[in-house]
Each structure stands twice: as structure tokens, then as C-alpha cells.
């Protein structure tokens, strides 16, 4: 008999014997318990308990099929994207009803260092809307959703899906249903997919987790907008749809970081509001560790390539409708896709270009359907 099963059977003997010993006997009679009275029922009970005990112990799951990357719902309107083998959070989505807008914070490097921050390092009051990684716009039918205004709010009504998969790449995602409200009334609905991807297979992630994260990871965002009643116009502004506020020491001004775009232009003076496929912001997080984020525009986005609004003080964003308003008809919809490659070091242009090409093959919401 296997030791574990034997333990369960022994437990059955003890339980049954104690039950018999507890029965009252007439005065003056000796207590004699025949062996069959203990052995027979105890064997039956032991078999049941043995089956029960063995039902709780299963063979360990195969690493190829066990998700190393998971999205974990948490209290207070948050969801954490966790790389389980290292017990390491890659990023966290905040979507509580009291927020001005949903955002991602922290966004961590492959080594676990923060790549983004909340707010401007030198102007936290008028730039309180710099929420790490966020989506908003300064002119939606004349309403400003970019700044922190009491008249506007982007509200998450629910998260309709949490899921993950393991295969050639690790993927975890959620789908959030949002409303853009102006003066308390919804004018625009948004279905937002946030997917985190580590481009390695699950077996490598469990066998050599640090090696699995060596190439960085992707945050992939697709937003599908639908007007509530009348047409919606994203007006002429450089502010919106997506913004990224880097951690202070990665900034060109504060830490000697570097801005590089897909045409090889460098820093704010050259990159500011120039159309590009991508912009990378990299620098030192500690005296010994460098890292950064590349922000990708997708070739399927209307108007691609878009201008990038960048600053040497540590932020970058893609200008959806700068000098070119976007109109969504009442019965229509509008979709954009963006990507962030979160990486170690300060990569060169050729390396980033290969990552962007990989990003362009991402399908988005269609791929997340069951």
C-alpha cells in the first residue's frame, strides 16, 4: 500500500475504534471488541478515505500547458499582469469608478524596475493627468478629456473578459467596456483590449524565467470607439489618444536619456511632432541598469504614420488628429491599435524596427474571441 493511502486507512481504523470504544456497556461487563467489527468496516471506510485522499493529489501539470503569464483581477478596480515564474508584476491596469480615466501603472522593466511614473516630475499640479500610460483626448465634440476636468470622465462600466493562453508566445489579456462622459452623459463608447505578450513559449518561461524576459515584453492596446447617439469628432489637437510618462531618470533632461524615432531622428528638437512608425524613449533606471519603452503606431490606423508629441522632460504620445480631425458617424465605429515594447538597455534602430515589424502582425480583438 502506498504510504499516503496507508495513512488514510490507519486514520479510518482509529476513527472507527474510537466510535466503538465510546459505546456504553451494561454494568460489570468487560469490553471486548471482535477484530471483524473493527477490521471490516474500517477497511470499507479506509477505502473511501483513501480514494478521497488520492483525489486531492494529481500529477503536476505540464509546463507547456501551464500559463506562465496571467492577468489577476484585484480589489478596488485593478488587474495585475503577472509573470508567474518570477512572481513579478509586469504592469497593472487601474479602472476604478472614481478615476478621471483608466491607466496602466506601474509599467515595469524586464528586471522589475519602474519605467513610468505618475505626473510630471517638475509640474505635478497642471500635469496631474500624466497617468503613466493612458488613453484620452483634448477635443471630443469640444470637450477636453485630456486634462483633469470636472465636466469629463472616462468610466469603465465593466471588464467583460480576463484570459490567458500558452503556446509559442505567452499572452494574457482583458477587455474593458468604457464610456466617455461629458457633463454626466455618455457621448462615446469604447471597447478596449489590453494584452500583454512575452514572445517565448511556456516551457522556457518555467525552465529559465530570466532568459524568457531577456527580450522584453509587449503591451498591446486596441480601442474600438462607437458614438452613443450623434457623430463624434476628435478635433484638431496634438494631445491624444495615447500618452506615456517615463520615469524621471529616463528623461533626456533629468537623466540623460535618449529619444529615437523610426527615421533615426534624436531627442525633442528633431522628433517633436514628426510623423513616424515608432518612437523609443530609453535611459538609465539605476546607475547600472538601463531600459525603456518603444511606442508603436500601427499601419492599419487611419492616417498612419502619425506625428509623435515628445518632450525631453520624459513623455511621448501619438497625435491621432493633429491638423486632421477624425469624424465617427452616428452609425459607425473607429478602431486604433497601439503597442509598447518594454525592454532592457538602449536598443539601436535596427533592433527596434524588427520589434515593430513583429507588432504589425498582431490581430487584436478578433484574436481574443473564444
Which residues of the chain form CATH 2.70.98? 69-365
Query: Across-strand partners of 104?
Result: 93, 133
The C-alpha atoms of residue 172 and residue 47 are separated, in whole angstroms, by 42
pLDDT tens, per residue, the chain with 370 residues: 444 444 444 444 444 344 444 444 444 444 444 544 444 444 444 444 444 444 565 777 777 778 999 999 999 999 999 999 999 999 999 999 999 999 999 999 999 999 999 999 999 888 999 999 999 999 999 999 999 999 999 999 999 999 999 878 999 999 999 999 999 999 999 999 999 999 999 899 999 999 999 999 999 999 999 999 999 999 999 999 999 999 999 999 999 999 999 999 999 999 999 999 999 999 999 999 999 999 999 999 999 999 999 999 999 999 999 999 999 999 999 999 999 999 999 999 999 999 999 999 998 876 554 3
Q: Is the pTM of this model over 0.95?
A: no
**Distance (Å, rounded) from C-alpha 296 to C-alpha 54?**
51
User: Does residue 339 sit in helix, strand or coil?
Assistant: strand
Instruction: Please state at what angle helix 35-55 crosses helix 3-21, rounded to 10 degrees.
Output: 140
193 three-class SS: strand
Domain made up of 69-365: CATH architecture: Distorted Sandwich (2.70)
Q: Which three three-digit cell numbers place residue 256?
A: 540623460
Amino acid at each position: 500500500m502506498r504510504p499516503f493511502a496507508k495513512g488514510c486507512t490507519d486514520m479510518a481504523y482509529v476513527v472507527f475504534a474510537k466510535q466503538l470504544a465510546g459505546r456504553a456497556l451494561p454494568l460489570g461487563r468487560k469490553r471486548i471488541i471482535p477484530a471483524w467489527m473493527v477490521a471490516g468496516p474500517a477497511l470499507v471506510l479506509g477505502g473511501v478515505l483513501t480514494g478521497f485522499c488520492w483525489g486531492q493529489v494529481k500529477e503536476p501539470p505540464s509546463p507547456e500547458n501551464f500559463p506562465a503569464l496571467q492577468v489577476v483581477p484585484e480589489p478596488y478596480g485593478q488587474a495585475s499582469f503577472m509573470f508567474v515564474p518570477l512572481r513579478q508584476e509586469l504592469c497593472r491596469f487601474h479602472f476604478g469608478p472614481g478615476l478621471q480615466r483608466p491607466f496602466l501603472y506601474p509599467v515595469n522593466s524586464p528586471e522589475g524596475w519602474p519605467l513610468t511614473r505618475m505626473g510630471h516630475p517638475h509640474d505635478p499640479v497642471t500635469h496631474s493627468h500624466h497617468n503613466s500610460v493612458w488613453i484620452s483626448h483634448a477635443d471630443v465634440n469640444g470637450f477636453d478629456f485630456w486634462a483633469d476636468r470636472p465636466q469629463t470622465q472616462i468610466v469603465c462600466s465593466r471588464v467583460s473578459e480576463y484570459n490567458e493562453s500558452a503556446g509559442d508566445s505567452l499572452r494574457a489579456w482583458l477587455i474593458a467596456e468604457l464610456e466617455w462622459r461629458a457633463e454626466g452623459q455618455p457621448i462615446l463608447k469604447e471597447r478596449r483590449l489590453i494584452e500583454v505578450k512575452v514572445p517565448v513559449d511556456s516551457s522556457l518561461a518555467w525552465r529559465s524565467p530570466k532568459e524568457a524576459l531577456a527580450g522584453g515584453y509587449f503591451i498591446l492596446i486596441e480601442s474600438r470607439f462607437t458614438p452613443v447617439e450623434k457623430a463624434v469628432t476628435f478635433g484638431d489637437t496634438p494631445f491624444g489618444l495615447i500618452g506615456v510618462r517615463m520615469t524621471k531618470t529616463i528623461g533626456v533632461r533629468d537623466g540623460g536619456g535618449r529619444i529615437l524615432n523610426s527615421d533615426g531622428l534624436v531627442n525633442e528638437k528633431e522628433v517633436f511632432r514628426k510623423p513616424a512608425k515608432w518612437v523609443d524613449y530609453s535611459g538609465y533606471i539605476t546607475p547600472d541598469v538601463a531600459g525603456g519603452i518603444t511606442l508603436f503606431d500601427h499601419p492599419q490606423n487611419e492616417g498612419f504614420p502619425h506625428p509623435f508629441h515628445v518632450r525631453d522632460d520624459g513623455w511621448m504620445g501619438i497625435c491621432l488628429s493633429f491638423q486632421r480631425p477624425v469624424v465617427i458617424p452616428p452609425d459607425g465605429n473607429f478602431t486604433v491599435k497601439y503597442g509598447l515594447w518594454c525592454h532592457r538597455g538602449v536598443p539601436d534602430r535596427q533592433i527596434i524596427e524588427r520589434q515593430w515589424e513583429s507588432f504589425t502582425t498582431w490581430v487584436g480583438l478578433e484574436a481574443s474571441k473564444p
